[in-house]
């Protein structure tokens, strides 16, 4: 009997995995949208019977703890099937004391960042601190950093925990996230799109830069983060449609001046340059796409020829 008990202690029954399905709510649900950073992702909460306006500050409970956010979507009725339960309620509207406490946290974050940088240097770690952030209730202090190699920062965490006397979290971020947090001005002279209004990073490819005739070896196609600029995405659909409607280079076309071959295209202007033979000599003339007729496209070259070069995501 004792041997049987010992075997049971050595080989305890495996825990049963319980699948937690995302539950949706039924009927019409009232929600508000809140973000916690400028141009940050919007999260949805229950207004709990209160009415909020865009721009108001509110106190809510999140997975990280109690936080103060800004209302970006006022009270709105949506289909419950579109909402993932549980929908946490707003605790209250932020008071002047809450706003003052948030400002104090921001000052403490700057001090914490200075101390953390010094600690990183003391531990001789190859990592770059980007930002320090306190949760509103000061239950956690988060340090965001970038690093090109794997770093063992366990001793650093212990050191920081003993210094700040609170829960410490070190979170590694990418270079695009770093640019979003740091902010700055782009080559257009305006605030970075990612830190100004983009809540999520858009996918940008080399193909988009080629379609818009950017010199790929030039810094003009790259943002401060070193990746392809997010704004290349804005006109992608327009260029994509224009290129589909433009015959590719090498196509034989019929013009009012005779038959020729396309040597250059300008999709947005809806024009092409055609090499034709007129009066016993070759000339290059510009025609509108609507004024020409395509007789033959180059063999092995279709629409994709003008849009090749799918590359790594920017």
pTM above 0.85, yes or no: no
Asked if 243 and 267 count as a contact pair (C-beta separation under 8 A), the reply is: yes
Of 173, 91, 96, the C-alpha closest to 133 is 173
Q: How many helices (H) and strands (E) does the chain have?
A: 7, 13
Measure the CA–CA gap between 238 and 250, rounded to whole angstroms: 23
Summarised one tens digit per residue, pLDDT across range 249-274 is 888 898 888 898 999 888 888 899 99
* Residue 290 located in a structural domain: yes
Question: What residues pair up with 187 in beta bridges, in sequence order?
Answer: none
Q: 84 and 105: one domain?
A: no
Measure the CA–CA gap between 284 and 92, rounded to whole angstroms: 70
Query: Considering its fold, how many domains does the chain have in total?
Result: 4
* Residue 5 located in a structural domain: no
Summarised one tens digit per residue, pLDDT across range 173-189 is 988 888 888 888 888 88
Hey, what are 110's tokens?
């700057």
* Residue 79 located in a structural domain: yes
CATH of the domain at 253: 2.30.30
Taking phi first (over 0 means left), then psi (-120 to 50 degrees means alpha), and beta for anything else, what does residue 309 get? left
Asked if 272 and 266 count as a contact pair (C-beta separation under 8 A), the reply is: yes
Residue 19 has pLDDT above 60, yes or no: no
The last residue of a domain, from among 75, 94, 113: 94
Phi, psi of 57 (to 5 degrees): -95, 140
pLDDT at 93: 92
* Residue 4 located in a structural domain: no
Domain ranges, residue 206: 179-234
* Residue 159 located in a structural domain: yes
Residue with tokens 């400028």: 38
* Residue 36 located in a structural domain: yes
């Amino acid at each position: 009997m004792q041997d049987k008990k010992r075997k049971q202690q050595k080989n305890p029954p495996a825990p049963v995995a319980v699948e937690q399905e995302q539950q949706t709510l039924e009927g019409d649900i009232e929600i508000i949208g809140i973000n916690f950073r400028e141009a940050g992702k919007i999260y949805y909460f229950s207004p709990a019977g209160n009415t909020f306006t865009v721009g108001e500050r509110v106190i809510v409970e999140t997975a990280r703890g109690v936080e103060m956010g800004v209302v970006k979507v006022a009270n709105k009725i949506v289909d419950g099937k579109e909402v993932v339960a549980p929908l946490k309620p707003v605790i209250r509207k932020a008071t002047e004391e809450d706003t003052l406490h948030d400002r104090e946290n921001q000052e403490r974050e700057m001090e914490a960042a200075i101390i953390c940088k010094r600690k990183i240097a003391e531990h001789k770690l190859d990592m770059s601190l980007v930002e320090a952030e306190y949760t509103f209730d000061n239950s956690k202090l988060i340090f965001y950093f970038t690093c090109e190699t794997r770093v063992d920062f366990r001793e650093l965490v212990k050191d920081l925990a003993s210094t700040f006397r609170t829960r410490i979290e070190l979170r590694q971020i990418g270079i695009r996230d770093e640019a979003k947090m740091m902010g700055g001005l782009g080559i257009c002279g305006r605030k970075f799109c990612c830190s100004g209004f983009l809540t999520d990073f858009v996918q940008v490819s080399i193909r988009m830069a080629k379609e818009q005739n950017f010199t790929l070896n030039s810094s003009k196609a790259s943002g401060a983060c070193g990746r392809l600029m997010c704004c290349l995405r804005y006109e992608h659909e327009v260029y994509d449609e224009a290129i589909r409607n433009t015959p590719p280079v090498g196509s034989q076309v019929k013009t009012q001046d005779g038959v020729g071959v396309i040597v250059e295209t300008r999709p947005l202007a809806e024009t092409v340059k055609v090499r034709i033979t007129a009066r016993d000599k070759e000339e290059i003339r510009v025609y509108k796409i609507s004024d020409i007729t395509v007789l033959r496209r180059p063999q092995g070259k279709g629409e994709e020829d003008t849009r090749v070069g799918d590359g790594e995501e920017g």
